[in-house]
Amino acid sequence: MSSTRNRQRQKGDQGRPAQGAGSAAGVFSAVTASIAALITTLLLTLPAAAGEPYLFDSTGYLGEATLMPDWADTMRREADQAPALDACLAEETACPRHYRGLRHLLLKATALPPDRQLSLVSHYVNRRRYRDDVSIRVESPLTEAAVKYRSRWATVEEFMRRGGDCEDYATTKYYLLRRLGFRADQLRVVVTWDRGERGYHAILAVKLDEDAEVLLLESDNRIRRGGRHRYRFIYSVNEESIWDHEAASASASRIPTASQNKETTA
């Protein structure tokens, strides 16, 4: 016991700073290290800075939705595929397998108030399988040849069959809420830059009425309100219009071009 204690004391003496200047330097070093550790802890535990609230108005209006070819193509495919879901809702025996759960959801949601419809649709869609975009080949109506797409906005049927990524979650929620009676001018699919994840992300923005706070429906069941988010808004779409938020932000900040704005804020 005593020999062990002596060895421990010797080790402690070797690690103890000398008296005088050396001791002061050691104390200063220890305090500096403690402050650095405290700052690191604060940076890791502080929540992400809140962003600006999404302005559900005409700011950044670019033009009609058909100006964006990919989105216009999604709207066309959705219109073509919608009768199959109509038939499923009218008669259960007409439902293919991938629509059976959706039929139950839509019929149940019909009798609910709008805020409950939002929550129900968002949770249901978020349960579907998340998968990144994969390259697919689609026959082009212009060339009659197979065209390879890396990314394409999904319709409700396409999403129910195979899942999708964040933009597909947002577009599916958009079309399901439209079926439940929400107007197009209450809904926008918004493409953002996520400052926390350092990547692009799509969400659905909803405004229940003129005076209501804008709600941002996420793919992880969160519904964000006001400015409690970490996004920079890039652009948004619905069936009627496109809004370029980058250009609007650049104009408000007196930055000459949207591209310069991206370089300074990314």
pLDDT of residue 61: 94
pLDDT above 90 (res 110): yes
- For 146, the token pair is 């197979």
Backbone angles phi, psi at 200, to 5 degrees: -80, 150
Give 86-105 as a DSSP string: HHHHH-GGG--GGGHHHHHH
Closest by Cα among 149, 107, 147 to 124: 107
- For 215, the token pair is 């709600």
d(CA 158, CA 238): 18
Instruction: Report how far Cα 141 is from the mean position of its chain's Cα atoms.
Output: 32
pLDDT band, residue 247 (cuts 50/70/90): confident
| Lowest-confidence region among 37-46, 82-91, 135-144 | 37-46
d(CA 16, CA 151): 63
Q: Once rounded to an integer, what is the mean pLDDT over residues 209-229? A: 86
Closest by Cα among 27, 46, 26 to 38: 46
d(CA 73, CA 68): 9
Just give the CATH number of 61-265. Answer: 3.10.620.30
Whether 245 and 236 have beta carbons less than 8 Å apart is answered as yes
Give kind and range of the element (H or E) at residue 199: strand 199-206
pLDDT of residue 141: 39
User: What predicted TM-score, i.e. pTM, was given to this entire model?
Assistant: 0.71
- For 19, the token pair is 């008296």
d(CA 262, CA 37): 34
